Structure 1
Amino acid sequence: MTFYTFTEEKLREFTENVFLKMGCTTADAQLAADVLLRSDLRGIDSHGVARLSGYIRLWEKERINATPVIKVVYETATTATVDGDGGLGLVVAPFAMKIAIEKAKLYGTGWVAVRNSNHFGIAGYHALLAVEQEMIGISMTNASPLVAPTYANERLLGTNPMCYAFPAGKYPPVVVDMATAAAANGKLEIAQRANLPIPEGWAQDKDGNTSTNPHQLKEGGSLLPLGSDKDHGSHKGYGLSATVDILSAVLSGANYGPWVPPFVSFLEPPSDPVGAGIGHFFGAMRVDGFRPAQEFKDHLDNWIERFKQAKTVDPDKQVIIPGEPEYAFEQERRTAGIPLIDAVVHDLNELADKLGISRLN
């Protein structure tokens, strides 16, 4: 496996050109590229530019509307439901999160459910928009049905990520950004490209037996909830995933459970949808709606420092603060560049040839 390193500017230009070829406006292409690049910068390689061919595939199947008319369809002072008109989730999600932020500015909190959208990148991008306004940000989405509930061997839920982001003072934000499955499907895709097995506890075969085969999903298997199996707390991951599905889709009018239109290429959308597109859910809470913002941030700094001082089993390691590794990646990659494995570079260059834009190398 070989790595190639690209500057943020190079990948941003390439990504914008891909979205422009889809027919996106310049503003939407720039926004969508920003969401994907933030993922690569933060070291979440499974959700960055490696996903571009997936967006193009859905657009070619007319499952993504490159020029959506995004609108609010239900609203109160502190809540709203947004219809994404089949647009890129990379564009629809920031639109909705900004509504939540504006409502929070006026009333202390804002909550927005979204239907008729698509894959929205990393949940952390959207939650961090609230942090920039000294707010607590919440972001979640349902996803391709690849996960079997506890005791089942039928794919009924997505990896259904959720993110909670909190502004700190002298330290980076605390960002809890995670899938509610034992592993995101993107990690299996990375293992596939690298021709490596996956850890036990990530997936099961079609008969419910644990598997280390990264291609297991294409062979009828399923991902497991956070906790892996019934003996290790999978009911907790299942419960979290169900919560995301209900808030994102049952509440908004999007498709839920096995009816969610998939992002993966080996599944086709169900012929009997129960809603519109996929769903998201966002929240923004003004810190100063609870206590002075600086007091909160000072105490969160103190929280961080105390946890960093925790006694560890290995004296060479420290407790990791949620979001800390991603922040470190972002600082490094903004200057040193973003590494991509050769398989991803190959895919992107093929995409460039197909669309008639400049190759990466």
Structure 2
Amino acid sequence: MLIPQSTLRTFAKNVFLAIGCSQEHAKLAADVLIKADLRGIDSHGVARLSGYVRLWEKQRINATPTIRIVHETATTATVDGDAGLGLVVAPFAMQIAIQKAEKYGSGWVAVRNSNHFGIAGYHALMAVEQDMIGYALTNASPLVAPTFSNERMLGTNPICYAFPAGKYPPVIVDMATSAAANGKLEIAQRKGIDVPEGWIQDKQGNAVTDPHSLKSGGSLLPLGSDRDHGSHKGFGLGSIVDILSGVLSGAAYGPWVPPFVAFLEPSANPPGQGIGHFVGAMRVDGFRPAQEFKDNLDNWIERFKSAETINPDQKVIIPGEPELEAETDRIKNGIPLVDTVINDLNELAVRFGMEGLKDKA
């Protein structure tokens, strides 16, 4: 089913209003979710809307948070999200980073006591709009086993860099530090298909392709899948995200990060508060004139696009290109949603007395 992005945006905003969010926060939270759907990252869009509602029902999300700075220097800050929606807390933190960068060249903000913040790219792109390099990280529910282990210790812990270009769209690297994001498993579950070998392992550490394997004690694998293919590097990247987002901010970290699913209770006596994020902004003109950088990045893009390919029918894909293509198409034609997501959202509509979703046609 295809749903116009404007319809889906209004629907998401009304759900957030229904749980008690302010107009400002509801609009922002909906914008972050819809940005994910527009960019083709379906695992982090409105498919997660009911998950936020369930966490709110469990009183693990505060719909009316008092987000505040608890520690600060000229170029750094730590923000307490007051258990608010990460969709709201992370943009608040990034705006602080941007303001510091405007004055001092760069700004870095650690966040504690937050929740799932949607796609990292949304927050990093806020800096790009100001001719800055954007940086966004978050730790997440422990689903990933370190190399040589079968115990879930890290989240998928995404990392994102975004760079402003000139005549071309921004170069944006937005990726999980696991072999695959958990949302990819959720999509496979909804479609009833297997996942590629190397994404997950069972409780005994055997490679499996059943996307439901996490429910029986399995775990996601780090980027690289196994030691022979560099999983220690994925483990290292995920560790960096966890330390900057959790240990540095005072949020929970490692196996103590609270789960996104409401039926799992957070660990008792965690060493920190909630989910943690880390965001940053760097002024390009703190290093060289911004236009010179953007001209050279345009040249970089053109040279990589012209690289000789193994198969003439293939081309080098610049980071961020597939998402931009999806966004262009979906703004025009609507956002595709599978029946399970439509049904899930229509259940929310019934619950909150809202109009349900209908096909664009």
One-letter code aligned to 2:58:
K
Residues 300-332 of structure 1, C-alpha deviations (whole Å, 9 max, x = no match): 000000000011111011100000110111111
Decide which of 313, 321, 327 is 1:324's aligned counterpart: 321
For 1:272 and 1:214, the matched residues in 2 are separated by 31
Decide which of 124, 129, 132 is 1:132's aligned counterpart: 129
Decide which of 5, 13, 37 is 1:16's aligned counterpart: 13
Structure 2 SS opposite 1:152: coil
One-letter code aligned to 1:325:
P
- Paired residues of 2:125 and 2:162 also in contact (CA < 8 A): yes
The answer to whether 1:221 aligns with 2:185 is no
Residues 213-268 of structure 1, C-alpha deviations (whole Å, 9 max, x = no match): 10011110000000011111000000000000000010000000000001034532
Decide which of 108, 112, 121 is 1:115's aligned counterpart: 112
For 1:199 and 1:179, the matched residues in 2 are separated by 16
One-letter code aligned to 1:75:
E
* Equivalent residue number for residue 256 of structure 1: 253
One-letter code aligned to 2:315:
Q
- Paired residues of 2:111 and 2:278 also in contact (CA < 8 A): yes
- Once the two structures are superposed, the pairs formed by residues 125-274 of structure 1 within 5 Å of their partners are 125-265=122-262, 267-274=264-271
- Paired residues of 1:312 and 1:319 also in contact (CA < 8 A): yes
* Equivalent residue number for residue 276 of structure 1: 273
Residues 46-94 of structure 1, C-alpha deviations (whole Å, 9 max, x = no match): 0000000100010000000000000000000000000000000000000
Q: Extract structure 1 runs of 4+ deviating beyond 4 A.
A: none
One-letter code aligned to 2:155:
G
For 1:263 and 1:83, the matched residues in 2 are separated by 19
What TM-score comes out, normalization by structure 2 length? 0.98
Shift of residue 358, structure 1, vs aligned partner: 1.2
Aligned length: 358
Structure 1 SS opposite 2:337: strand
**Root mean square deviation of aligned Cα:** 0.7
What TM-score comes out, normalization by structure 1 length? 0.98
Decide which of 67, 71, 75 is 2:68's aligned counterpart: 71
* Equivalent residue number for residue 94 of structure 2: 97
- Paired residues of 1:162 and 1:180 also in contact (CA < 8 A): yes
- Paired residues of 1:38 and 1:48 also in contact (CA < 8 A): yes
Decide which of 286, 304, 308 is 2:305's aligned counterpart: 308
One-letter code aligned to 2:241:
V
The answer to whether 1:87 aligns with 2:58 is no
Tell me, which stretches of 5 or more residues in structure 2 are unaligned?
none
For 2:127 and 2:192, the matched residues in 1 are separated by 39
For 1:310 and 1:44, the matched residues in 2 are separated by 27
- Paired residues of 2:108 and 2:280 also in contact (CA < 8 A): yes
Decide which of 53, 58, 63 is 2:55's aligned counterpart: 58
